[in-house]
Amino acid sequence: MKKLLLAAMCALLVSWKPPIDLGKVAKAKKGAELVAGASHKINEEEEYHIGRAVAANILGQYPLWKNGELTRYLNLIGRILALRSGRPEIYGGYHFAMLDAPEANAFSAPGGIIFLTRGIVAMAADEDELAAVLAHEIQHIVVKDPLKAIRSQRLKALGTFTAGEAVGSSSGAFGVFQDSIMDISGTLLQKGYSRGQEKDADLGALKLLAAAGYDPGALLDMLKKIQAVEKKKLKAFSAHPSAAKRIAYVGGNVAAADPALRRARAARFEKFAAGR
């Protein structure tokens, strides 16, 4: 009997396992997700799908301006510029649309989705000025500023987690990208890119405008208009550096262009401008 009892106790000891700490398991899983997200290099297909999600967030705050002719015109200019850029091909292609918002602003989401507000389109006096705004946003896509912002946010999330602070869980189709989608949406709508990134986008836009046959001086013209709006303390490019600072470095890098060609494009612009 004693031998049987001893054998039974040994069996229990062998089969016994300590209780599972579900909190630690969940934390370990979250940590693994954040590490995977911080180290994962987003490919073009993922960039496209993240961009669609970011665009949906933007459209949740600003309705789309449904003007077919003007949207086609916007896409014609944008695609001409994109073809002369450092990243002419992108998964799903570049897409340009107008937001029904009176303030002057523009947004470049991951995956080549670019929005211009009605306010910034109405501010443009000719095609070259409209192209200048598009060129700036295209440059953000070319150098992958939206993806850099996502990576920065993921690294911050990982740092917060390892510091022991509470971090929400992520799940679903985007997994580790879910929080980043909200973060990059906030970056576009409120915080903006870094001052260095904005400056690089302006200077890159000057080169892109020249490469596509537009007048680089059109960017300077638009910045002067934005500066006038800023002085009135109206909402315009709230997430960008001040127009005065941008005018200072853009003005020193503007190359001369043929004014006759710019005037020739003005007639085409007037055909579509009525729909603004």
**Domain ranges (residues) in the chain:** 27-273
Is 80 exceeded by the pLDDT of residue 38? no
Quick one: pLDDT band at residue 241, thresholds 50, 70, 90?
A: confident
Percent of the chain at pLDDT exceeding 70: 69
Between 96 and 152, where is the model more confident? 96
Quick one: pLDDT band at residue 98, thresholds 50, 70, 90?
A: very high
Residue 57 dihedral angles phi and psi, to the nearest 5°: -65, -40
pLDDT of residue 179: 61
Is 50 exceeded by the pLDDT of residue 223? yes
pLDDT of residue 25: 43
Sheet arrangement for strand 95-99: 95-99, 113-117, 106-109
Closest CA to 219 of 150, 162, 135, 104: 135
CB 121 within 8 A of CB 100: no
What pTM did the predictor assign?
Answer: 0.77
Q: Angle, to 10 degrees, between the axis of helix 127-142 and the axis of helix 217-231? A: 90
If you average pLDDT over residues 171-198, what whole number do you get?
A: 67
Among 9-18, 42-51, 144-153, 212-221, the range with the most confident prediction by mean pLDDT is 212-221
Q: How far is C-alpha 72 from the geometric centre of its chain's CA atoms?
A: 22
Residues 6+ apart with CB under 8 A from 214: 81, 127, 128, 131, 132, 135, 257, 262
Among 33-37, 105-109, 162-166, 255-259, the range with the most confident prediction by mean pLDDT is 105-109
pLDDT of residue 161: 43
If you average pLDDT over residues 153-173, what whole number do you get?
A: 47
Q: How far is C-alpha 109 from the geometric centre of its chain's CA atoms?
A: 3
Q: Please give the Cα distance from 246 to 130 (Å, whole number).
A: 17
Q: What sections of the chain are H helices per DSSP?
A: 2-15, 22-39, 44-61, 68-83, 118-123, 127-142, 145-162, 178-186, 195-211, 217-231, 243-251, 259-273
If you average pLDDT over residues 67-72, what whole number do you get?
A: 92
